[in-house]
Amino acid sequence: MNTNLMLDLHDLGKSFELHHQHDAHLHVLDGIRLQLHAGECVVLSGPSGAGKSTLLRVIYANYRPSRGSVRLRHDGRWLELASATPHEVLDARRRTLGYVSQFLRVIPRVPALDIVAEPLLQIGAEPAQARQRAGELLHRLNVPERLWQLPPGTFSGGEQQRVNIARGLIAPRPVLLLDEPTASLDAANRAVVAQLLAEARVAGSAVLGIFHDEDMRDRVATRLFPMQPLEPA
């Protein structure tokens, strides 16, 4: 086994059935081949509608692919996510595969600090240590300390996004999927996220992401993976 290879997509395709349109199909991904190695950051590029978010959701096993294979290196062996059981998917997400979207899923009444700390608790960290690490990340991401004990429901879009990034990066993950996690951030906080991603890569994570703005893309990408819409809008 090539110990550096973390994710191997082979002839991957995804079509959506459009039930309201006489069961027509929308072909979004076709023949995708992509290999992601530890320490690299591949950025999916291409116009809106090219299927970038769909590709990340297929890899995160939110969607089943229509064709092809999604092999993830998990626990030192290959896990085929296209046919994995729900239990295998949950285990892969807990320990190997991270996903950060644009939006924080707010849990009512749970303070920001605990939302950020939770992924560390799930892998068995001590609560005090997990909260301390959560505080360090929130501090680096310039989330004011007065907000840490409050549920993020009333936070600004940018504050929620920074809580979401802290939660997504707190537990070391061998493979990190990022869908425009910095869309509402100012330049200073984007720079912090770029630094956190660089640290994750040095620690051995493989990163696959979508970044709308060019300065972020240039800063984090080791390689681009260009995509185009298959069907006209």
Ligand X SMILES: Nc1ncnc2c1ncn2[C@@H]1O[C@H](COP(=O)(O)OP(=O)(O)O)[C@@H](O)[C@H]1O
Instruction: Name the site residues for ligand X (rule: CB under 6 A).
Output: 16, 26, 28, 48-54
Question: Is the Cα torsion angle 40, 101, 63, 17 positive or negative in sign?
Answer: negative
Q: In this complex, which beta carbon is closest to ligand X, that of residue 19 or of residue 77?
A: 19
Give CA–CA dist 55/130, Å, rounded. Answer: 31
**Least distance in angstroms from the C-beta of 201 to ligand X:** 23
Q: Total residues contacting Mg ion (rule CB under 5 A)?
A: 1
Nearest residue to Mg ion, scored by beta-carbon proximity:
53
**CA 176/CA 82 separation, integer angstroms:** 18
Structure tokens at 78: 């290959």
Report the residue number, 32 or 117, with the smaller CB distance to ligand X.
32
CA distance 143 to 35: 35
User: Which of ligand X, Mg ion, none does residue 131 bind (CB under 5 to 8 Å by kind)?
Assistant: none
Beta-bridged to residue 13, according to DSSP, are 67
Residue with Cβ nearer ligand X (102 or 189): 102
101 binds Mg ion (CB under 5 A): no
Distance, CA of 95 to CA of 37 (rounded, Å): 17
When the beta carbons of 147 and 178 are compared against ligand X, the nearer one is 178
Residues 16-75 that bind Mg ion (CB under 5 A): 53
